[in-house]
């Protein structure tokens, strides 16, 4: 399930972990039994549940987080330059909308 940081659930997680939201412009992955994962660690934990070949990205867990997060930030900073940006907002389908908590 997904929740925007601005939602009630998102705000509860931010408050519980005392996150500085002005510095948090990344993906956050929260699990009740595993806690909060941020940036590259969150992305790799998500990749673990994807099908082949995407699940093979978990091999990057062997790289220290400070290096992985530097690469993550570099890609995030340049992704629109490399891949472009869509100007139109997507209207979510009912199936997609059902995946959001708030």
List pLDDT tens digits, range 31-50.
878 888 888 999 999 999 99
List pLDDT tens digits, range 5-32.
888 888 888 888 888 766 656 788 888 7
- High-pLDDT (> 90) share of the chain, %: 32
What distances in angstroms separate CA 99 from CA 1, 4, 6, 76, 84, one per listed residue?
5, 12, 16, 24, 26
pLDDT at 52: 93
- High-pLDDT (> 70) share of the chain, %: 92
Tell me the pTM: 0.74
| Residue 3 CB partners (closer than 8 Å, separation 6+) | 9, 10, 13, 100, 101, 102
Distance CA 79, CA 77 (A): 6
pLDDT at 47: 93
| Residue 91 CB partners (closer than 8 Å, separation 6+) | none
The phi, psi pair for 66, rounded to 5°, reads: -65, -30
Of the candidates 61, 68, 72, 66, which has an alpha carbon nearest to the alpha carbon of residue 26?
72
């Amino acid at each position: 399930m997904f929740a925007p940081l601005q939602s009630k659930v998102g705000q509860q997680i931010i408050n519980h972990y005392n996150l500085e939201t002005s510095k948090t412009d990344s993906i956050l992955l929260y699990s009740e039994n595993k806690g909060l994962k941020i940036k590259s660690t969150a992305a790799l934990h998500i990749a673990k549940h994807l099908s082949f070949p995407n699940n093979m990205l978990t091999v990057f867990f062997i790289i220290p987080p400070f290096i992985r997060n530097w690469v993550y930030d570099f890609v995030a900073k340049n992704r629109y330059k490399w891949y472009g940006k869509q100007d139109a907002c997507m209207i979510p389908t009912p199936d997609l909308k059902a995946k959001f908590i708030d």
